[in-house]
Amino acid sequence: MNVARRSALGLIAAVGLLQVGQSPAAEETGSFAFASSLTSQYATITHMDGAIFSGVSQGTSTIVKSSGEPFVEGKSMQTRCIASGVVSADGTELEAACTSTSPSGDMLFSTAKRRVDSAAQEGGTGQLTLVGGAGRFENITGSCPYEVDYLTETLYVTWAECTWQR
């Protein structure tokens, strides 16, 4: 898998990791950290002087630290993301949209953006934005710097520390 795909996968994982919890919402602000493990499947085309890629990542995100509801420490969610990006001589631009769903059906929506200066870079950092949700995550917004580590071309882990508000 090329670097652009791997970078996109990391972005997706990060987005998905932010979406875990299982209790009724009680707090108006807080923080949490999560870890995600995702697999990806991407298609890439050559375009002009670079490449364009798009695809899906999916896996599990688990809250590893939390200040409290609605993000419950130790709870996991299924995360699914759609990502796309452009690879050029200037580097790689990545964007993803993710939905994380709890076993009870609560959903957390997030977006992620990441810029990689080199088309050959593996892993790295980006910015995840919490953009709402349904159920206990309704009206949740926030931000999370995240980091991605590729284990293989199609398997990666992401971790992030987030602040949120309602």
Residue 4 is predicted with a pLDDT of 52
Q: Is the pLDDT confidence value at 139 over 50?
A: yes
- Judging by beta carbons within 10 Å of its beta carbon (0-12, 13-18, 19+), is residue 21 exposed, middle or buried? buried
Q: Is the peptide bond before 103 cis (omega within 30 degrees of 0)?
A: no
pLDDT at residue 140 is higher than 50: yes
Position 89 scores a pLDDT of 87
The reported pLDDT for the residue numbered 17 is 45
The enclosing domain of 88 has a CATH number of: 2.40.350.10
Pick from 120, 101, 100: nearest CA to 5: 120
The residue that leads in pLDDT, 32 or 152, is 32
- pLDDT band with cut points at 50, 70 and 90 for residue 19: very low
Is it the case that residue 27 has pLDDT exceeding 90?
no
Q: Are 33 and 119 in contact (CB under 8 A)?
A: no
Cβ contact 20:103 at 8 Å: no
Using CB atoms within 10 A of its CB, is residue 100 exposed (0-12), middle (13-18) or buried (19+)? buried
Q: Find the domain containing 61 and state its range.
A: 3-165
Number of domains in the chain: 1
pLDDT tens for 84-133 read: 999 998 888 999 999 999 999 999 999 999 988 865 556 789 999 999 99
pLDDT, residue 34, reads 98
